[in-house]
Amino acid sequence: MKDHLLIATAYNNEARIYVSYTKTLVEKARKIHKTWPTATAALGRLLTAASMMSFFNKDESSLTLRIDGDGPIGWLLAESNAQGEVRGNVDKPDVYLKYNDSNKLAVGLAIGNGHLTIIRNPHLKNAYSSTVELITSEIAEDLTYYFSSSEQVPSSVGLGVLVNEDTSIKHAGGFIIQLLPQATEETIIQIEGALQKLTSVTNFFDNNKSTNELLTLLANGTENILEKHELKYHCECTKKYFSNLLQKLDITALETIIKEDKKAEIICQYCKKVYNFTEKELTEIVTKKQP
C-alpha cells in the first residue's frame, strides 16, 4: 500500500474523516534521522498527524507541528503542505524506551511534560501559532485536546507506528474524525461505538486491512469519499534558500567565516543534505550586503 490520504464526509455530513497510511514516509524519516524505535514512533506519529492536518484549510501554504518536552527526546518538528509533502526533525534521535507492563514503545515517557505548538503558514508574514500543554505526550490525545480547546472542533485522533524487529517500519498511519457543528447526539454515540471496535490503527493494518476498510469502520458505512491524495516525505530546500539565510547574517559574522574557514557547510535539518559555499560565493554574499 502506497502512502496516501483519504478525506471523506460521513454520518450524513455531520462528521469529516481523514484516514492516512504513512509507512514509506515514516521509514524515510527514520533513515534520514537515524532514529531509534521510540524516537521513530514519536516522529512518525507527528508526521502522520501533520500530513492530514495540512488538508484542513487549503488556503494555507503550510503547517508546522512542534513538541517541546522535558523527556529524553527533547523537541520534535513536523512540517506539511497541501501537496501532501511532509518533513520533520527530532532533537535526540537515539531514544529507545518501552513501557514495562505493555512492552509498547514509550512515546509519552520519551517526550515527557511540555507543550504542543501549531504554527500555520510558518514561512509567511501572516504566520500564527497556538500552544497547548501536553496531556499524555502520546501525541494523538494531545492533538485531540488541542482541537477541542484551541479550534473548538471536537475530534478523535488515532496515530500509530509499528516498528519491526530490525527497527524498520512495518506499518504507520492514522485518522482524524472531526465533528461538525450540526452533529447529533446519536452520531456521537455511533462514532464512539465505532472507535471501540478499533484496538489500534497499526493492528488494523497488520491484519491486511486497507485505509478504505478503516474509513468504513470509523464511518459505520456512511462514508462518502471526497478526495484522495498521495503523501510523501519531501524537503524543498535549495542552495538559494540557504544563500538567502546566510545573507541575513551580519557582515562581521560573514567576514569572520570567510577569514577563518574560507568556506561554509550548511546541513539541512530536515533532509540532511549538505550545501557547500566556497570563499568566492561567501564573498559575493558580503558584496551584495554592502550598501
Residues lying near Zn ion in the complex (CB under 5 A) are found at 235, 237, 268, 270-271, 273
Polymer length in residues for the chain: 291
Return the number of the residue (237 or 249) whose C-beta is nearest Zn ion.
237
How far apart, in whole angstroms, are the C-alpha atoms of residue 239 and residue 278?
A: 12
Return the number of the residue (9 or 83) whose C-beta is nearest Zn ion.
83
In one-letter notation, the amino acid at residue 194 is A
* Shortest distance (Å) from residue 75 CB to Zn ion: 18
Yes or no: say if 264 and 277 are a contact pair by the CB < 8 Å rule: yes
Return the number of the residue (209 or 234) whose C-beta is nearest Zn ion.
234
Three-state secondary-structure class, residue 245: helix
CA dihedral 239, 81, 58, 171 (to 10 degrees): 160
* Shortest distance (Å) from residue 206 CB to Zn ion: 32
* Shortest distance (Å) from residue 236 CB to Zn ion: 7
* Helix 37-53 with 140-150: angle, nearest 10 deg: 30
Return the number of the residue (15 or 26) whose C-beta is nearest Zn ion.
26
Return the number of the residue (88 or 158) whose C-beta is nearest Zn ion.
88
* Shortest distance (Å) from residue 265 CB to Zn ion: 14
Residue 276, C-beta contacts closer than 8 angstroms, at least 6 positions apart: 263, 264, 265
Return the number of the residue (140 or 271) whose C-beta is nearest Zn ion.
271
**For residue 47, which phi and psi values (nearest 5 degrees)?**
-65, -40
* Shortest distance (Å) from residue 275 CB to Zn ion: 9
* Shortest distance (Å) from residue 98 CB to Zn ion: 31
DSSP assigned state of 207: T
Three-state secondary-structure class, residue 169: strand
